Chain A
Amino acid sequence: MTNDAVAAQSASPTLDVRGLSVAFRRRNGLVRVVRDVDLTLGPGEVLGLVGESGSGKSILARAVLGTLPRQAEVLGGSIAFSGGDLMRMPPSQVRRLRGDRIAIVPQEPMTSLNPSLRIGRQLTEVLEVHRPEIRSKERSVRAVEMLDLVGVTYADERLAQYPHQLSGGLRQRVAIAMALICGRVELLIADEPTTALDVTIQAQILDLFVRLQKSQRMSVLLITHDLGVIAQTAQRVAVMYAGEIVEVADVNDLFASPRHPYTRGLLDSLPRSGRVARKSHLPSIEGSVPSPSAAVRDGCSFADRCAFRIAICDQQAPPLDSAGLGRSVRCHRWADLTAGFARRDALL
């Protein structure tokens, strides 16, 4: 565990999610998609939230933003953001935080910008709402500065353009500029910010991210299913599976010695130079994430796909155990498995 991360955790957190549960209303009742999630994000910290599609990452992010879809319902929990509880604030107050102190960089730059509004308008309207003291002429100046900062070329000409005239990478830069334009973001939620981009553009956007995060001293909740992105940017990682957090750890610890069998599986399915012998194939996790609408089973939600399943896994849901400094794992067998994994890694 690095000193940075320890410091981040000991200071009063930027974001503190406690016992959050979110469900979707369906015809046949409620379907829980986020289950009893605890998550802490310190000032200036980058927390990676990893999981397969359908694991509830994006819904968690939207719950924090207060923009859950209509059919979603919060069953319980609290979301503390710099002192106040977002769950208990009037919606209008949460709205005033959005785009100002809490911002999001969306997943799909191609569809997240309004096709019928000029880029300039989409940037300045944020200032109009959150910084009414800035006069309208200065707003455009600020928009150009922001575009410059995120590496958009010909920034002043871009203000008059429409999203369809920009490439995907440029649009994502515009989206980042839009998130940061008010200049006082404390919490940035980045929902798969590079997934929809070409590999070369991905790298550029990630670099930009790291640079901006340091210069603006923001906390970042980085949602992704790409462990490579996590390795490059995050300090801590939370792994989500079927709506639950199954493991939280410092990024180096997680990559060095994953404790949960699911995390282990995720890491094993990454190609690594020098690790996999010729002729052997890339391991994968059997099965798929259980559908949230499937009957809630007793016991561990990963049991069906777990190679290390024992009797208790089917009977009792494992708690999120503390597993060392700043680490926690949701697995009945993490202790004995860790020893076993260590032996196996030593043999390879």
Chain B
Amino acid sequence: MRPYFSFAIILFGILISQAQNKQLLYNVNGLPQSLLNNPGANVNFDGHIGVPLFSKFHISTGSSGVNLFDIFDETNVDVNKKVSAAIRRLTRNDYFTLHQQLEILSFGWRLNNGQYLSAGVYQEMDMFAYFPKDPALLVNEGNNAYLNVPFDFSDVSFTGEIMTVYHLGINKRISNKLTVGARGKLYSGIFNVASTNNSGRFITRDDPNSPNFYRHYAENIDIRVNTSGYASLNNSGMTVQESTADLLKRSFFGGNIGAGIDLGATYNLADNLRITGSVLDIGIMFQQHDVENYLYYGDYETDGIEPLFPDVAPNDNTIPYWDLFEDEVDKNLKDETVNENYTTWRPVKFNAALEFGFEEMVEICDYRRTYKRRNYNLIGVHLFGVKRPRTMNYALTTYYDRKFSNNFRAKISYTVDDFSYYNIGLLVSTKIKKFNFYIAADNLAGYFNLAKSQSASLQLGMQFIFKKQ
């Protein structure tokens, strides 16, 4: 066991974060949703059909550096001091996330050859924004206290997307030890916004060699905000009904499309020890419809407006200094709106877990079923990562999963992430005959006072799960 403990200790050593982490549903092989987290999961059922619109609802939100209490603490009345303190304390790598999934359709069945097919449709929203540290400082405090200090516009980085995902997956047992799976996905984009890889600095210098008190510099400004599915809603003057119809149309491939794949595998090192892994949403979106891009770029520096004395031009007209200044600025700092297609990559995710079982149980043998849960108790360690514009964000979870009976299962987890070092999560899954209901919540301590919590996550759903006797 020593190598496994070493592995776990190394993983614990990584201080990490989460974003779209669904650690409570990962490796829960009795639930069809585990196939969405790992298409190569060892599923122990033979068919499932979700209650339409109710088979899975997931929402999670997180803020890595600030919570509601930091700003609105009722014992400290000066809210502006608290806002300023928060802005100073947050870094450009702090971030805010909002993620939501609603499963519309979900079903699956085991083929005669033992493979398990699963398919469905879900709607997904994913919003992610780094804290724009320098622009926030500039807006909140101005440049007076930051002479000679650059305000870096590369701090501006955010993405957002709303889409409908159509998927079909297959799960195949290769041997007693290895199960693999893959899921193909078609994305139907509803809305997208992306502003990453921005650059540029604004500096006010009090250089004694410059002719005025200050010289203002806008250097290497290159800011781009790509949008799709936004311009028509923003500019068309459509009614709410028309907008709703338009959004529905986009859900059915009436807008931007993309494709992706999930891959996953489970390898049984021993009867009671397995490793699992998956890579999700290796996918691309082609943003070609209703695209609008907002660009701001260029370089400029100024000492102020320089009057020429006297204030008349050779043709005896007053010199329009301000207009000349504005023309100069406009010539050097371009502000454009264009319609250029662009592509976006889905935020790829990976999961890796090591799981150990104990307290053996007896279950009816079926050679076609890829997995028989042989232990009442499972403990594991699970590493999750998601690609974000600047870096991968990680979360590390340990969990204890207990099957109390054929109809009742619970899983408790402890997750270390950017939001909390005290994230205790709980999942319960219960069955009444074929009907299954599950609910999972993260960061339970945070629910007692959401104001002090930096993250919250909730998943629940209901479905029918079929098992051959």
Is this pair of chains taken from one and the same complex? no
Chain B interface residues (CB < 8 Å from chain A): none
